[in-house]
Amino acid sequence: MEVKNINQRIISAEEGNYLDSGDLYTLEQSFRAYVKNSKRKDVIISRKKILMVFLVIRYTGAKLSEVLSLNPFNDIDWEKSFIGFGAKNEESGSQRKVQVSKAVLDEIKEIVNQVEFEKKYENLSFPDPGFVRKKFYERAKDCGFNKNLCGPEAIRKSRAIELLKSGIPLPAVQSILGHSNPGLTSSFVSYSKEEIEVIAKKFAEKESWRKTSARNSFFGKITNILKGSIQSKVELLTDEGHKIESVITNQSLERMGLSKGSLVSAEVKAPMVLVVCKTGDFQTSADNKFMGKIKKISKGVVSCEVVVSISDYTEICSIVSAGEEFFSELKKGDEVFVLFNCFSVVLHLD
């Protein structure tokens, strides 16, 4: 099992040891059904509180103790769409602020209004932690999941891995989770507090509405721009140190307002990615070349999907013709190169 130490907390990214986005969605729907499956007003109110606890943990990665201490009238900014955790600093009045999509926060607001929380409460008057965990385990059983993957602490861990796998820089994830010692040395790219807030806000909104057909997505800072007469080569560096090169028109460069230091996403469609056996000697004109290990091979009648892990949290997917004899000899764990041209990389300024 591959284990990674993030801010002195062990996060295992082995498949089956956490809930992926699809599993979290299934669990979320189970909580919603749990609320609807009662006609007694007092029971519905209690269940809506549990749903609210789940939604806050699921979309902020907060600790259960932090959620149980929330005061919706003081700790949630409904206009700016963030939830504040921890005691406010007497001098600055600051808290750890976690951005949440407007859609999720609107639902939380609706629950607060329906449950009719009284402002005199210092917190949300939730049941004790043991009661909350029990309800989480019940939802796990309803979904057929291992209960150890569905407790509040496990959901927090799954959220962290989900953010990392979505391309959110490690320092930003550490900030969102409230780690006291981010340890920026574990990242190749550092981000200011203001940039982390921008990243978190953009991701929260993107998570609720953005759809893309591209399987490969990278996020990073632009480190260099080489401008030509018609087109420009843009280099960006991800938080894991991967350099991605893209060529775009000068018109696009100006329209997007890109410059050194800009935060951008880069996407490459899977059919544009080539896979080359590591043992073979070859020359290539591809600007982007990475070595990794095959994580998964899915063979179909028409096409073959190959997923290659190039680092701890970055995978690249390639789609090729099922008729390629080359892939019949490959297996999980084999080392290969993945290649794609700079003209295949599309930049997004979210």
pLDDT in tens, 285-318: 889 999 999 998 888 888 888 999 998 778 899 9
Q: How many domains does the chain have?
A: 3
Q: Which domain holds residue 280?
A: 270-340
Same domain flag for 162 and 77: yes
Residue 256 belongs to domain with CATH number: 2.40.50.100
Same domain flag for 73 and 92: yes
Residue 275 maps to a domain:
yes
Same domain flag for 199 and 97: yes
Same domain flag for 201 and 238: no
Q: Who has greater pLDDT, 193 or 84? A: 84
Same domain flag for 91 and 150: yes
Same domain flag for 111 and 243: no
Same domain flag for 185 and 282: no
202/219 Cα distance (integer angstroms): 12
Same domain flag for 158 and 278: no
Residue 350 maps to a domain:
no
- What is the number of helices (H) and of strands (E) in the chain? 9, 15
Q: Are 78 and 11 in contact (CB under 8 A)?
A: no
Two structure tokens written together for 282:
């070859």
115/124 Cα distance (integer angstroms): 10
Q: Who has greater pLDDT, 65 or 169? A: 65
Same domain flag for 55 and 119: yes
* Single pTM value for the model: 0.54
Q: Mean pLDDT over residues 229-246, rounded?
A: 91
Residue 130 belongs to domain with CATH number: 1.10.443.10
Same domain flag for 252 and 333: no
